[in-house]
Amino acid sequence: MIIIGLTGGIASGKSTVACMLEEKGAVIIDADRVAREVVLPGKPAWREIRDWLGPSILGPGGAIDRARLGKLVFSDAAAREKLNRIVHPRVMEIFVARTEEIRSCCPEAVVVYDVPLLIEAGMQRMVDLVVLVYAREEIQLSRLQRRDNLSAEEALARLRAQMPLEEKRAYADVIIDNSGSLEETCRQVEAFWEDLQLRSGRPS
């Protein structure tokens, strides 16, 4: 089994690349999806967040209001760190468990850890290869404003809350530059996948 750590920055196009790899046959474990699972109503992380921030952080039906929580943590580094301490260990447990499930049933699988905070969480030590989806900062900001209907100031604050992509380059074994067209990104993913198959002795 090969484990790829796929990371990037906000609005860099990581999810797009993850979908392309899934179409190639990779098995995706999505950190954002797992993080939503661990904070479902009644779960231990949900209780910790509710006790920390109070019932006002809950939306209809008792689920955590993700938009309200996002506004809080993107503007407050201490709150962001506390949220990570609550959520990350539970996410890590699920990643390990699901990886072992895949290993037992599909030992030849290519598994992709789709993790925005792969480097920040130290998860690069758990993978065989780190793939960084890169985009220039001005492109990230433009995409983020359009996608989330944010002001320039709000978009910049969210970008500054993350490790810069330029710093993440030092950890990457492979860089997919998603600053251009979708077709250009697709060609890079295709080349990466073919190289991966060659290196592992598999048919492409």
- 72-115 tens-digit pLDDT: 888 888 999 999 999 999 999 999 999 999 999 999 999 999 99
Print the domain residue range for 60.
Answer: 2-199
Beta-ladder partners of 174: 131
Would residue 42 count as lying in a domain? yes
User: Does 193 map to a domain?
Assistant: yes
| pTM greater than 0.85 (yes/no) | yes
Q: Counting every residue, how long is the chain?
A: 204
| Bridge partners of residue 177, in order along the sequence | 134
CATH of the domain at 60: 3.40.50.300
Q: Residue 203: its pLDDT value, please? A: 59
Given a cut of 90, whether residue 158 has pLDDT beyond it is: no
Higher model confidence: residue 198 or residue 40? 40
Written as six digits, the tokens of 189 are: 């993913």
Please say if the pLDDT value at position 144 is more than 80: yes
Structure tokens at 134: 């890169």
Number of domains in the chain: 1
Is residue 204 included in any domain, yes or no?
no
